[in-house]
Amino acid sequence: MADVQPKVTTGPISGSRKVHRSTDSGMAVPFRRIEQSDGSHLDVYDTSGPYTDARTGIDVHRGLPALRPERAEHRTQRESALRGEITPEAEFIAVREGVPAELVREEVAAGRAVIPANREHPEAEPMIIGKRFLTKVNANIGNSAVTSSVEEEVDKMVWAARWGADTVMDLSTGSRIHETRERVLRNSPVPVGTVPIYQALEAVGGDPARLSWEVYRDTVIEQCEQGVDYMTVHAGVLLRYVPLTAERVTGIVSRGGAIMAAWCLAHHRESFLHEHFAELCDILRGYDVTFSLGDGLRPGSIADANDRAQFAELETLGELTAIARDRGTQVMIEGPGHVPLHLIEENVRREEELCAEAPFYTLGPLTTDIAPGYDHITSAVGAAAIARAGTAMLCYVTPKEHLGLPNREDVKTGVISYKIAAHAADLAKGHPLAQQRDDALSTARFEFRWNDQFDLALDPDTARSFHDETLPAEPAKTAHFCSMCGPKFCSMRITGDIRRYAQEHGLTSTDAIEAGMREKSAEFTAGGGRINLPLAE
């Protein structure tokens, strides 16, 4: 197997090419340049790594080249920011996001943003998670005991990053967990997150009661050494919270949360994650691994949303946030889950209040339970709403949620759905760069530059293929209509005719129209009541 080059998708996304802008310290910041047929172009944020660079050879066995310089001093991004230093990563991020480097520093220093960048993962391109920056999207990959292989998971990671995933989480729980993660890390251009308890549980034969701090700690250190950038830790699941889930419709739906609750109950003790939290902070800080404090008691159904169990855990996460920050470790907070629309905003407000504005990282939320098979949509609705309210990163949900392990196509659908939610929120939050792309695409649409419209889309391939289903011929790419309305009923074509007519007749303002109405009324009647407007084909 080691001799076969695993298959990953390479080559530029349709209609674009990779360009770089240099930072002052010489790092090359990637952008995807979308060329337009009118000679203009739009550079967009690019998560896809060297895989979409036509000039770069890819060798999955060797992995990506190290991008980030080795740093002499052992300070975390947070510690550097607090000292007033702008790190090379912060500088990279500033160029990438189109913001001042000082804003990056300030937000990281305040703990309102994190830069998940393990010093042992130099292949990754620096990125930031915080509400004053572009809303980020995470894609979960990883096998289960039932299905998938190492090769498939590496392929999914590359594929997810290609379509815009800002980070990936390797949630493997099946066989070859270490090897899968190693291959993912060495080839990932985006930060990689994990949930170490999964591997720890495998190490003790799958029995939660046999877990211990020592097994867990060793697993964490192994993963830190490999280069994992952020780790989900369910240290907020306390023994006394378990009974709060007893009356729930769906109990505990977080895998890590359920495992820790089982451990606490079996041992009748407070969780070892909670007891050894300070020690865990120090381990993570040593590599600059970011905490993602897990919501082990998140609601798994509409009925359980915003209940006591959920908010009790959130309070504990707030206490842990303070401890981690004191020790110089970066922290973000995970959020739900299943939440109806009217209860979403409260989640953000409470999280900001209890966790001192640590970046919020939410799974969806799903806004109804009744649509298995379409939970990328039920949750994109909630994701857009919660991101608008201040969530910094959205964990995607695929169409297979609740039903099975996502395949490659599900991963793409999940990522695109979440790029939509994130972008909708960025527009609503008024991110200065967001609307450029909408305007460019709508202008192309109005001008019937079909290929430009496709290339500016989040998924050019699908847009083009949907159009071509009914009008595949090349002339249709400049035609002033599509099959939806046909030539005579195309409103944009008619608008174009109207504008030309108005221009030629000087009818470009309301005043001119009103003056014209008086004047032309007579003329019209005299002329027999017909004016030739060249509107039909």
CA dist., res. 8 & res. 186, Å (int)? 14
Query: Which residues fall within 8 angstroms of residue 182, CB to CB, at 6 or more apart?
Result: 226
127: nearest Cα among 77, 172, 170, 171: 77
Ramachandran angles phi, psi of 287, nearest 5°: -110, 0
With binding defined as CB under 8 A, does residue 203 bind a copy of itself? Answer: no
**Residue 334, annotated as binding a ligand:** yes
CA dist., res. 201 & res. 142, Å (int)? 16
- Applying CB under 8 A, what is the total number of residues that bind a copy of itself? 145
Site map (CB under 8 A) of a copy of itself, residues 363-392, x = contact: ----xxxxxxxx-xxx-xxx-xx--x----
Stretch that binds a copy of itself, among 2-10, 55-63, 225-233, 436-444 (CB under 8 A): 436-444
Q: Measured between alpha carbons, how far is residue 441 from residues 87, 160, 444, 452 in Å?
A: 35, 23, 5, 7
List beta partners, residue 41: 35
Q: Which residues from 391-410 bind a copy of itself, rule CB under 8 A?
A: 399-405, 407
When the beta carbons of 67 and 457 are compared against a copy of itself, the nearer one is 457
Q: Which residues from 467-526 bind a copy of itself, rule CB under 8 A?
A: 467, 469-471, 481-492, 494-499, 501-502, 507-510, 512-514, 516-517, 520-521, 524
**Residue 236, annotated as binding a ligand:** no
Instruction: Determine contact, residues 121/181, Cβ cutoff 8 Å.
Output: no
When the beta carbons of 74 and 342 are compared against a copy of itself, the nearer one is 342
When the beta carbons of 142 and 191 are compared against a copy of itself, the nearer one is 142
With binding defined as CB under 8 A, does residue 411 bind a copy of itself? Answer: no
50: nearest Cα among 70, 37, 32: 32
Q: Measured between alpha carbons, how far is residue 86 from residues 82, 103, 128, 367, 393 in Å?
A: 10, 10, 14, 40, 23
What's the DSSP call for residue 229? -
- Pull the structure tokens for residue 156: 């999914």
38: nearest Cα among 522, 449, 446, 428: 449
**Residue 458, annotated as binding a ligand:** no
CB of 35 to a copy of itself, least distance (A): 17
Site map (CB under 8 A) of a copy of itself, residues 142-181, x = contact: --xxxx-------------------------xx-------
Instruction: Determine contact, residues 188/212, Cβ cutoff 8 Å.
Output: no
- Pull the structure tokens for residue 203: 């190490």
CB of 487 to a copy of itself, least distance (A): 7
Q: Which residues from 224-283 bind a copy of itself, rule CB under 8 A?
A: 239-246, 249-255, 257-259, 261-262, 265-269
CB of 416 to a copy of itself, least distance (A): 6
Stretch that binds a copy of itself, among 15-23, 75-83, 275-283, 463-471 (CB under 8 A): 463-471
Q: Measured between alpha carbons, how far is residue 379 from residues 272, 360, 363, 384, 422 in Å?
A: 33, 16, 8, 8, 12
With binding defined as CB under 8 A, does residue 453 bind a copy of itself? Answer: yes
CB of 392 to a copy of itself, least distance (A): 17
Q: Measured between alpha carbons, how far is residue 172 from residues 7, 144, 375, 395, 409 in Å?
A: 19, 6, 21, 16, 18
With binding defined as CB under 8 A, does residue 208 bind a copy of itself? Answer: yes
Stretch that binds a copy of itself, among 6-14, 69-77, 95-103, 419-427 (CB under 8 A): 419-427
When the beta carbons of 333 and 490 are compared against a copy of itself, the nearer one is 490
**Residue 376, annotated as binding a ligand:** no
Q: From the annotation, which residues make up the binding site?
A: 140, 169, 198, 234, 254-256, 295-298, 334, 338, 361, 402, 482, 485, 490
Q: From the annotation, which residues make up the binding site for Zn(2+)?
A: 338, 402
